[in-house]
Amino acid sequence: MIPLVRRITAVCALGAALAACGGNEAPRAGLTAPSKSAPASPSAPASPSPSRPPNLTPGPGGLTPVFSNGPRTKGKTVALTFDADMTADEGPRAAAGEHFDNPELIATLRALKAPATVFMTGRWAEQYPDQARSIGSDPLFELANHSYSHYAFTANCYGLPRVPADRMRSDVEGASEAFRKAGVPHAMPYFRFPGGCYDQQSLRALSSLGVTAVQWDVVSGDAFATDADAVVQQVLNGVKPGSVVVMHCTRSAAPTTERVVRAVVPELRKRGYRLVKVSDLIAASTDHV
């Protein structure tokens, strides 16, 4: 496998609704282009403007480009990202009352005026169309693709069922169709692999879709966590300028996340960080890794 195409090896909790992003390791990557943005005042976060699809550059060798973190050298910015996970076969659990959504988390982000990027599965959008439309219509947020089924795009990805190679593209397109049916105005051209697992075959399969795969460099550990304080410390200890933090918008599988956000956002601002969306980090970078 070529160096620029690698599998994410984050140690992650496993579950039916959530299959990544709960451990203590994170993928390492770096983009070294300087940021053009200066930190905003912690006490007066700037109002975000609506996201607009950026101009994307091709990935190496014609493969789907992969983005893991923003510029390290200038400007204390950090992007909070939330995976809205629901697999294709979890409808009966939702019908029985299990909550794969987290409206309290979204309300807290709005109250704190904290920009965020939400990577949503098509199945989640089908289950919660009003919430999907609300998130996708709010300039505080940007909505991006997390596949339709939340099945894995490689073998041996935290026990997830695998999407056949000839259905990878249609699985991503199925999520986009679910967004349209929910009335989402537009989704950003970003994709997060379920479980963070990808290889050269999956990058090749998605190369014609015009998306950038977005990974992370800070694992929050919120998946199945019961100790919010421990998750807060893991985030704060891991954040660096340009970091992408992965958390979850799935209440049943990540019950502490709303409390974590209430603690993390003010503390990051106190430390001089400016919260931005993934599109802002990509716009400040001149290369994909």
C-alpha distances out from residue 93 to 69, 124, 161, 195, 272, Å? 35, 12, 17, 21, 42
Minimum mean pLDDT among 53-57, 65-69, 83-87, 173-177: which range? Answer: 53-57
Interatomic CA distance for residues 144 and 190, integer angstroms: 5
pLDDT at 52: 55
Instruction: Indicate the residue type of 137.
Output: S
CB crowding 210-226: b at 16 or more within 10 Å, else e: ebbbbbbbbbbbbbbbe
Question: Which pLDDT band holds residue 56 (cuts at 50, 70, 90)?
Answer: low
Residue 117, classified by CB atoms within 10 Å of its CB into exposed (0-12), middle (13-18) or buried (19+), is buried
Q: Which of 195, 246, 200 is nearest to 222 (CA)?
A: 246
Q: Which helix (H) or strand (E) holds 222?
A: none
**Under 8 Å between Cβ of 287 and 66:** no
What backbone torsions phi and psi does residue 253 show, to the nearest 5 degrees? -100, -15
Mean of pLDDT values over 38-62: 54
* Six token digits for residue 36: 């053009």
Between β-strands 274-276 and 77-84, what pairing exists: parallel, antiparallel or unpaired?
parallel
How is the chain split into domains, by residue range?
60-283
265 Cβ contact list (under 8 Å, min separation 6): 80, 109, 112, 114, 275
CATH topology of domain 60-283: TIM Barrel (3.20.20)
pLDDT value for 252: 94
Taking only the tens place, the pLDDT of each residue in 131-170 is 999 999 999 999 999 999 999 999 999 999 999 999 999 9
Distance CA 67, CA 282 (A): 8
